[in-house]
Amino acid sequence: MTSSLDRILTPRREISAALGNGAGIAVAGAIVLGWCIATYGGLVDTTFCPPPHQVVAAFWKTLMDGSLLKNAWSSLVVINVGFVLSSIIAIPLGIMMGSFRIVQAALEPVVNFMRYLPVTSMLPLLILWIGIGIEEKIAVIFLGTFFQQIVMFSDVSAQVPKELFNAAYTLGAKKRQIVFRVLLPATLPGVIDTLRVTMGWAWTYLVVAELVASSSGLGYMSMQAMRGLHADLIFVAILVIGFLGLVTDQIFKWIKLVALPWARQR
C-alpha cells in the first residue's frame, strides 16, 4: 500500500488508465452525490436548485421538442466562426511576436493595452456598430479571445530553446528553413494547448453575448429560463455547454496526439 501510494504521489509518474478513469469517476460521482443530498435532503430550495431528476426531465423535454438542438447549434455556429477567425489571425501574429523583435516592438503596446479591456464594456458599442445579430456575437468571441491568444502564442514561441536555432544554423539551414522546419514544429504543441485553454474563454464570452442581446443560443435559453424561474432549464444549458466544451477539448487533444507525434512525451 505504501509503495503504491508513493508511486501515485510521485510528480509526473505515469499511472494506469483504470486508476485515472476511476479517479475521475469518483470525483464526478461525489459531486452528483452532494447534489442529491442537498436537493433530496431538503437542504436547499429546489425552486432555485432542482434535483437531478427534474434536470433530466427538462433535458429530455427540450431535446424532444427540438429547442435544445436549435439553441445548441446556434451557439456552436457562433463560437466556431468567432474562434476560428480569431485563431487563424492570432497564431501567425503571436508566433512572429515571440520570435522577431521588430514585430514584438510594433505589436506589444497595442496588444497589452487591448487585452486588459473588458469585452463586456464594449458590448454597447458593438450593438450600436453591428446590431444584435450573429455578427455582434461573433465580434464578442473574436475580441474576447484574439488579444489573449496573441500573448499566449507569443510566449510559446519565445520559449523555443535557442540551441535549436543555433544547431540548425550550424548545419547550414536558411532562414526559411529555420521558420518552417524548426520554429513551427517546436511551437505547434504549445499552440494546440493554448487553443484548448482559450476555447474555454470563448464559451464564456459567447454566453455573455447571448445573455445581453440574442434570440437563440444556450445563453438565450438560460436567460429565458431565468425569467420564468425554470432553474432546471438553466441547469440543462449549463450542462450542455460543459459537455460541448469537454468534447472540444478532447478533439484538440486528439489532434495533438495524431498530428504532432513528436509532442507525445510532453
Check residue 264 and give its pLDDT.
65
Check residue 42 and give its pLDDT.
85
pLDDT tens-place values along the chain, 266 residues long: 556 666 676 776 777 777 778 888 999 899 999 989 989 888 888 888 899 999 999 999 999 998 899 999 999 999 999 999 999 999 999 999 998 889 889 999 999 888 888 888 888 888 888 887 888 889 989 998 999 999 999 999 988 888 888 788 888 878 888 888 888 888 999 999 999 999 988 988 888 888 776 778 888 888 888 888 888 899 999 999 989 989 999 999 899 888 888 776 55
CATH 1.10.3720.10 fits 52-263, yes or no: yes
Pick the closest to residue 237 from 36, 16, 69, 53 (CA basis).
69
Q: CA angle 196-201-205, nearest 5°?
A: 145
Q: How far apart are CA 82 and CA 206, in angstroms?
A: 9
Check residue 60 and give its pLDDT.
94
Lookup result for grid cell 510528480: 11
3-state SS track over the chain: CHHHHHHHCCCCCCCCHHHHHHHHHHHHHHHHHHHHHHHHCCCCCCCCCCCHHHHHHHHHHHHHHCHHHHHHHHHHHHHHHHHHHHHHHHHHHHHHHHHCHHHHHHHHHHHHHHCCCCHHHHHHHHHHHHCCCHHHHHHHHHHHHHHHHHHHHHHHHHCCCHHHHHHHHHCCCCHHHHHHHHHHHHHHHHHHHHHHHHHHHHHHHHHHHHHHCCCCCHHHHHHHHHHCCCHHHHHHHHHHHHHHHHHHHHHHHHHHHHHCHHHCCC
pTM: 0.85
